[in-house]
Chains A and B, each alone.
Chain A
Amino acid sequence: MARRSAPVTIEQLLAAKEIVIHCGSGGVGKTTTAAAAAAEAAIHLGGKVLVLTVDPAKRLANALGLEAFGNVETQVPEAAFKAAGVAPRGQLWAAMLDTKQSWDDLIRRHAPDPATRDAILRNPLYQSLMGRFVQSHDYIAMERLYDIHSSGRYDLIVVDTPPTRNAIDFLEAPAHMADFFSSRFLRWLTVPARSRVLNFASKPFYTVADRILGSQFLEDIAEFFLLFQSMHDGFVDRARAVTHVLSDRRTTFVVVSTLESAPVREAEFFIRELDRRDLHLGAVVLNKVLPEFLRDRPSTAVANRLCHDGPKLAAALKGVGDAKQVARVLKEVGESFINFQVVAEREAEARAELAASPEVIATVPYFDADIFDLAGLIRLGDRLWR
């Protein structure tokens, strides 16, 4: 069972934790929610708050002043808060995750000597592996989080997770990375580069592999992994430490979802997985939720009348405009209400399913415009906070 605590507010949750990881399926507004929560924490709780984001929309990046700085942690200027009409108690910092840059930094830190370091950084397999290997994004995100947290520079770090199909992948990334470097297969693979004499066990593999992939390619791989082996211990220790931080009591997870069926299913899956891993589920945030008034029953009857009695109702609205046009507008208004009510009802059902989990459920309404500045972010954050 996940460690559950008595329901609290998002404010209490953020005050009690040092790392808050936002997760959920793509497109639900994880990044924005994480940024809004961090802004609120900086305003109300004080201290140094960092939002570490993976892939912010351009406007959000602008709102946080990330456009020019990227991978470097940067303070959101006081002036931006002033323009939004608030005086924060603490500081808000922001950083974006640049996968390639972070990997290069990691190699520089773990390489035993400059020659190995340069050989790895120049290796075409390394470049292509870090660029394309999807899990490398997951791992580096958690690695960077660990690095920043252990530096002690921030009181609170709010993170959003990479847009993976299975939101759970990043949880497994550190362990996976450790397995990867400890693997028996890796040792097998590097055999030909170390010794031309193949042992009995690995010979059939090489015979087939050679036929399929060609020996040159196998040697390229082997060379790359021999270089990587020199960093084995550092990497494995590090991956373990990263895994440890995720399950630390100072870390909590916020599951973000809209009330559409696919994200809800994924949110439920994620809640179960957190449970299974004994990780702390802090809150469920429901984003882009349609307003409750769309489900109002007496209004349904009115909407139906607008659809069917347009001409009669238009007669009651003398002076508003051409009677036919008024009737048409009333019909459109009525139909639109019925349409959106269908969606709102669907959302209510999804919400009831999610409500089975006892954690804080915060609801954020559908905003009529996109968020493009700090004021917009704070407006969203205020809805979260209460």
Chain B
Amino acid sequence: VTTPLLDRKLVFVTGKGGVGKTTVAAALALLASQQGRRTLVGEVDAKGNLADFYEVPPTSFQAREVAPNLFAMSMHTEESLKEYLRLQLKVPFVARMGPLARTFDFVAQAAPGVKEVLIIGKFLWEVRERHYDLVVVDGAATGHAVALLAAPQGIRDLVKVGLVREQTGWMLDILGDPAQTGAVIVASPEEMPVNETIELAGRITAETNVNLACVIVNRVLPELFGRGEEEVFDRICQPANAERLAAAAGGPTTAVLDGAHLAVTLRRTRAGHLARLRGGLVEGTELLYVPELFTRHHGVRATQLVADALSQELGY
């Protein structure tokens, strides 16, 4: 029996750039908070635009309540390191450790996995300390996401002794428990995002111990015509009929009919990619669908629309 997505403690959202990864992360967190869960949403990319999705001032390392039950933050590795040294390793004099932090930043660049462990470790720590019911991570794009999720194991393999190694144990316990942690890949029904999603799903399973909770397909176009209706549409488009329609409607019909053609072909192309996605994922992988939003809205109202769609898909 799999744990429902929002009943987990850590939901790590990833996906190719441009598919709506942050939108989905923001909406999942909003939905959870509206269901009464004390929720933290954190973006890995400090230069990200998570705040725009709630229409609040830019996020920082210190989590801030942006809506009832909903707290938002953005990652900052140096801040994370300082907090880690202060709270977990009990290294004193943090205030005077500017140069040390810089040095560590360098080690983090040089030694693979150190920077990643500081990032994922911060979120895992929030889970362990039970500060929130749910932590949603707006994770990095595809390649870096695997590096983040695999970091604790990678560090464990590279570092044989020391405090950092000791810390990886509890991290792996949380990451590897499907009742607590789930990865979510956001995709859009287009060629490259589908390719990357299939590849990423395989890599998450092969290279990390994290459970792939589901794939969320964003921007799914609605089916325009039902059974037999496309034939009717084709007949309407015949020049003589189109002219009759134009006369009855009192205006030009070319653009409107061309627009419907475009909608049908776009939908058909995307349906092909969707089918490829379904075929390329391990059987049993759950797929959720978020429709294309034809809306003027940006910001929190658009986020709410996606949250509503997800709520339905999750069966609430």
- Chain A: number of interface residues, binned into ranges: 35 or more
Q: Is A217 an interface residue (CB 8 A)?
A: yes
By the criterion CB–CB under 8 Å, are B263 and A336 in contact?
yes
Q: Given the complex of chains A and B, what is the CA–CA distance between A29 and B107 in angstroms?
A: 36
Note all chain A residues with C-beta closer than 8 A to B193. 27
Note all chain B residues with C-beta closer than 8 A to A28. 18
Q: Given the complex of chains A and B, what is the CA–CA distance between A325 and B234 in angstroms?
A: 13
Chain A residue nearest in CB terms to B238: A320
Note all chain B residues with C-beta closer than 8 A to A221. 107, 110-111
Q: Is B275 an interface residue (CB 8 A)?
A: no
Q: Is A188 an interface residue (CB 8 A)?
A: yes
Q: Is B248 an interface residue (CB 8 A)?
A: yes
By the criterion CB–CB under 8 Å, are A209 and B251 in contact?
no
Q: Is A332 an interface residue (CB 8 A)?
A: yes
Chain A residue nearest in CB terms to B246: A302
Note all chain B residues with C-beta closer than 8 A to A7. none
Q: Given the complex of chains A and B, what is the CA–CA distance between A189 and B49 in angstroms?
A: 36
Q: Given the complex of chains A and B, what is the CA–CA distance between A330 and B241 in angstroms?
A: 12
Note all chain B residues with C-beta closer than 8 A to A320. 232, 235-236, 241
Residues in A263-320 with C-beta less than 8 Å from chain B: 263, 265, 290-291, 293-294, 296, 298-299, 301-303, 305-306, 309, 312-313, 316-317, 320
Residue in B100, B162, B229 whose CB lies within 8 Å of A211:
B162
Chain A's interface: helix, strand, loop or mixed, by majority?
A: helix
Q: Is A343 an interface residue (CB 8 A)?
A: yes
Note all chain A residues with C-beta closer than 8 A to B236. 317, 320, 326, 329-330, 333
Chain B residue nearest in CB terms to A258: B18
Q: Given the complex of chains A and B, what is the CA–CA distance between A234 and B64 in angstroms?
A: 48
Note all chain A residues with C-beta closer than 8 A to B258. 291, 293
Residue in B144, B158, B259, B269 whose CB lies within 8 Å of A293:
B259
Chain A residue nearest in CB terms to B257: A333
Note all chain B residues with C-beta closer than 8 A to A261. 298
Chain A residue nearest in CB terms to B44: A165
State whether A166 and B47 are in contact (beta carbons under 8 Å apart), knowing that A26-B16, A214-B165, A262-B18 are contacts in the complex: yes
Q: Given the complex of chains A and B, what is the CA–CA distance between A230 and B140 in angstroms?
A: 34
Note all chain B residues with C-beta closer than 8 A to A302. 246, 249-253, 256
Q: Given the complex of chains A and B, what is the CA–CA distance between A59 and B91 in angstroms?
A: 54
By the criterion CB–CB under 8 Å, are A128 and B255 in contact?
no
Note all chain B residues with C-beta closer than 8 A to A291. 258, 262
State whether A208 and B164 are in contact (beta carbons under 8 Å apart), knowing that A299-B251, A301-B251 are contacts in the complex: no
Residue in B154, B165, B224, B269 whose CB lies within 8 Å of A336:
B224
Q: How far is the CB of B252 from chain A (nearest CB, A)?
A: 6
Note all chain B residues with C-beta closer than 8 A to A205. 100, 103
Q: How far is the CB of A315 from chain B (nearest CB, A)?
A: 8
Chain A residue nearest in CB terms to B193: A27
Note all chain B residues with C-beta closer than 8 A to A85. none
Q: Is A87 an interface residue (CB 8 A)?
A: no
By the criterion CB–CB under 8 Å, are B17 and A332 in contact?
no
State whether A214 and B162 are in contact (beta carbons under 8 Å apart), knowing that A125-B112, A328-B229, A369-B269 are contacts in the complex: yes
By the criterion CB–CB under 8 Å, are A212 and B18 in contact?
no
Q: Given the complex of chains A and B, what is the CA–CA distance between A205 and B251 in angstroms?
A: 78
Q: Is B7 an interface residue (CB 8 A)?
A: no
Note all chain B residues with C-beta closer than 8 A to A209. 103-104, 107
By the criterion CB–CB under 8 Å, are A57 and B191 in contact?
yes
Q: Which residues of A contact B (CB under 8 A)?
A: 25-28, 57-59, 124-125, 128-129, 131-134, 163, 165-166, 180, 183, 185-186, 188-189, 204-205, 208-217, 220-221, 225, 258, 260-263, 265, 290-291, 293-294, 296, 298-299, 301-303, 305-306, 309, 312-313, 316-317, 320-322, 325-326, 328-330, 332-334, 336-343, 345-346, 366, 368-370
A-B contact pairs, 22 of them (CB 8 A): A27-B17, A27-B19, A163-B142, A165-B144, A180-B109, A183-B106, A185-B103, A186-B106, A211-B162, A214-B164, A221-B110, A293-B259, A296-B252, A302-B256, A303-B259, A329-B236, A337-B256, A337-B260, A339-B294, A345-B296, A346-B296, A366-B266
Q: Known pairs A217-B158, A306-B249, A320-B236. 13 more at Cβ < 8 A?
A: A26-B17, A186-B110, A189-B107, A208-B91, A209-B103, A293-B255, A293-B258, A294-B255, A302-B256, A313-B245, A333-B260, A340-B259, A340-B294
- List the 5 closest pairs (A to B, CB-CB), nearest first: A26-B17, A27-B18, A214-B162, A316-B248, A339-B294
